[in-house]
Amino acid sequence: MIPVSVYKSLGLERIFHKVAEGRRLDLDDGFRLFQCPDLVALGALAHRVRLRWHGRTTFYVVNQHINYSNICVNGCLFCAFRRRKGEPGSFELSVADVVEKVRERLHEPITEIHIVGGCHPELRLETFESMLAAIRKIRPEVHLKAFTAVEIAHFARLEGLTTRDVLLRLQAAGLEMLPGGGAEVFSPRVRRLLCPNKLDGDGWLRIMREAHELGIKSNATMLFGHKETLEERLEHLDALRRLQDETGGFVCFIPLPFQPGNTEVENAREPTGVDALKTIAVSRLMLDNIPHIKAYWVMLGVKLAQVALHFGADDLDGTVVEEKIGHMAGAESEDFLSRETLENLIREAGFDPVERNCFFETLPASARSC
Ligand code: V47
């Protein structure tokens, strides 16, 4: 453990004591942590909190990603996945195609199916209800985590329904959880620059509140390393923390390092390893009420994700297999990781691998051997 004298020499003694006593950090504390020149000292503080929450357990999930379409009306500049309808590279899966993707992997012990797409101009809510119900029928034991808050708002607009009614209908069809995407950074300034047509931050938070009130848990993300300031990152974290105080519905926070390839963000560069590790550590320290921090290996790269387990992260996400959003933006990570690889990465980093489902419920070893 790094002695308090080190934090004293860094001007972080007060923050050190707050963390040791489990007291909430304010935005100024967060800023000072970001400015800390001693990466290892910052990581050790976050690691202390991570050990308090989870000990040496590090989670992973055996999951399947399905993107039903990349056709999107929003045109976000940071997104290399999106296409206009009819544009080369655009795709749209039917319900039967999605079911086929699920069927192809029925022999694998998948516990979570993660389904997202663009904001498609025509696909109706009925299609998504049929999609969930059809998957439920052939894979009743699997948990369905689908549709970002941005997609929920889009479905509501197309149908002339409230977002609450959309959530209720999807929940009745089998939706159990919302993924954390679409949050980007809530700053209106950044959203005007990068995604002016997308649901705004308040809308994203409102839909998450509604979901949580209906018993639908969710994750939350932050896309970082593009045009946002450190203050804007911290305000994003604070907004999530305040909503979590109200609802308790966020299960996991996922800091997503921006992948600049094939995007339209000017002068874009991928955040450095130091920035990514600092962001993960500060997230762990600021989000004192969200239990899990994910080191998403797809965007971080497997090597940095492994190191991130010492900087506050307690989850590596999962096997994934068919990821498009990060890889179309130049992510150089593998297409998929086997359970064995995930477990070895976790063990090598000095932690105990534990398989979870999307709610972070631990799976008994017997369920893991199939
Ligand atoms: O919302 C888009 C981001 C998100 C880029 O909930 C980009 O368990 C980096 O939310 N560089 C989708 N990121 C991914 C996502 C996610 C992934 C894994 C697990 C979970 C979960 C959620 O990807 C989007 C957007 O913020 N994104 N473009 C890019 N160029």
pLDDT tens, residue by residue, 35-92: 999 999 999 999 999 999 999 999 999 999 999 999 999 999 999 999 999 999 999 9
Mean pLDDT of 341-370: 88
**Quick one: which atom of ligand 1 is closest to the CA of 263?**
30
Give the total residue count for the chain: 370
118 C-alpha vs ligand 1 centroid, how far in Å? 12
How far is 28 from 32, CA to CA, in rounded Å? 6
- Kindly give, in sequence order, each residue whose CB lies less than 8 Å from that of residue 195, ignoring residues fewer than 6 positions away: 74, 76, 77, 78, 184
Closest protein CA for atom 24 of ligand 1: 181
How far does CA 60 lie from the centroid of its chain?
Answer: 13
Domains of the chain and any CATH numbers: 4-43 (no CATH), 57-368 (3.20.20.70)
Mean pLDDT of 148-153: 98
Closest protein CA for atom 13 of ligand 1: 258
Closest protein CA for atom 28 of ligand 1: 79
pLDDT value, residue 314: 98
Mean pLDDT of 257-273: 94
- Kindly give, in sequence order, each residue whose CB lies less than 8 Å from that of residue 255, ignoring residues fewer than 6 positions away: 221, 222, 224, 276, 279, 280, 283, 293
Mean pLDDT of 5-23: 98
Mean pLDDT of 140-169: 98
Q: Where are the beta strands (DSSP E) in the chain?
A: 57-61, 63-67, 112-116, 143-146, 177-178, 217-224, 250-257, 292-293, 315-318, 352-355
181 C-alpha vs ligand 1 centroid, how far in Å? 5
Ligand 1, CB cutoff 6 Å, lining residues: 78-80, 179-182, 184, 219, 221, 223, 254, 256, 258-259, 263, 296, 299, 317, 325-326, 329
Residue with tokens 């940095």: 304
Element (H, E) at 17: helix 13-20
pLDDT value, residue 321: 83
Neighbours of 324 (CB within 10 A): 16
Which residues are registered as beta bridge partners of 17? none
**Quick one: which atom of ligand 1 is closest to the CA of 180?**
6
**Token digits of residue 336:** 């998929």
Q: Ligand 1, from 221, 226, 275: best to mutate by most atoms within 8 Å of Cβ? A: 221
Residue with tokens 């620059």: 193
Q: Ligand 1, from 70, 154, 223, 266: best to mutate by most atoms within 8 Å of Cβ? A: 223
Mean pLDDT of 284-308: 97
pLDDT value, residue 367: 54
The answer to which of 8-22, 42-56, 252-266, 352-366 has the lowest mean pLDDT is 352-366
pLDDT value, residue 370: 41
333 dihedral zone (left: phi>0; alpha: psi -120 to 50; beta)? beta
pLDDT value, residue 369: 44
116 C-alpha vs ligand 1 centroid, how far in Å? 10
pLDDT value, residue 26: 98
pLDDT value, residue 268: 85
Closest protein CA for atom 2 of ligand 1: 79
**3-class DSSP state for residue 172?**
helix
Closest protein CA for atom 8 of ligand 1: 179
In the structure, what pLDDT confidence band is assigned to residue 335 with cuts at 50, 70 and 90? confident
Which residues are registered as beta bridge partners of 222? 255
Q: What is the mean pLDDT of the chain?
A: 96
Is it the case that residue 365 has pLDDT exceeding 90?
Answer: no
pLDDT value, residue 368: 54
256 C-alpha vs ligand 1 centroid, how far in Å? 6
Q: What percent of the chain has pLDDT over 90?
A: 94
> What b/e sequence results for 203-219 when a residue is b if at least 16 CB atoms lie within 10 Å of its CB, and e otherwise?
bbbbbbbbbbeeebbbb
In the structure, what pLDDT confidence band is assigned to residue 171 with cuts at 50, 70 and 90? very high
Q: What percent of the chain has pLDDT over 70?
A: 99
